[in-house]
Amino acid sequence: MLKQLLLLPLALLLAACSLTQYNVSEAEINQYLKKQVSFEKQLGIPGIMSSKIRLDEMQSRIGRKQPDRIELDAAGDLQVSSPLGSQQMKVRFALSARPEYVAEQGAIYLRDLELVSVQTDPANIGAALTPILPTFNQSLSLFLSQTPVYRLDSSRKNEARIKEKVEDLKVEPGRLVIPFKVL
């Protein structure tokens, strides 16, 4: 009996710790990205090259390579036009960014975007993209800093309660941990 009374405060403490954080899994972020986020942009260098890019397949990997970052794979279509002609291709970008929670919106945005790699199909066209990569990176960085990769859902009881009480955002392999104040 005495042993159970001593374990009770420890059990309550452990339960309180688990009730002061909310986890958003990689799968939840990927589902949100699939349903809510797509990127389309006209880019170019006037008179030299223009392009239209559409990224509609995005997958996240949370905290896998770097402990405080999300890796994002983005794939879609790219059409490049130049005085020499036009080329349609498939494109895949590997990106890395730091997640940030904005309490007023209950949303997670990506900041400090880094372009890690670019792949094209057909592969021999990739080098031709070099002049527009800085412009692309800047456009996508601006887009992801203004478009959430996840938003707490006010219709879900747990998420509605914590929206304004979030203290921080922690990146752990495979999930984002959102600690919040109980009071």
CB atoms within 10 A of CB 44: 16
Distance CA 101, CA 180 (A): 12
pLDDT for residue 77 is more than 50: yes
Q: What is the pLDDT of residue 175?
A: 94
In the chain, the percentage of residues whose pLDDT exceeds 70 is 81
The larger pLDDT score, comparing residue 96 to residue 130, is at 96
Please state which CATH number belongs to domain 27-179. Answer: 3.15.10.40
Q: What is the pLDDT of residue 126?
A: 66
Q: What is the pLDDT of residue 16?
A: 47
Strands 175-179, 170-172: parallel, antiparallel or unpaired by DSSP? Answer: antiparallel
In the chain, the percentage of residues whose pLDDT exceeds 90 is 37
Domain boundaries defined on the chain: 27-179
Reported as type and span, the H/E element at residue 79 is strand 70-82
What is the arithmetic mean of pLDDT over 30-53?
86
pLDDT for residue 14 is more than 50: no
Q: Is the dihedral of CA 73, 74, 75, 80 positive or negative?
A: negative
Q: Share the mean pLDDT of the chain.
A: 82
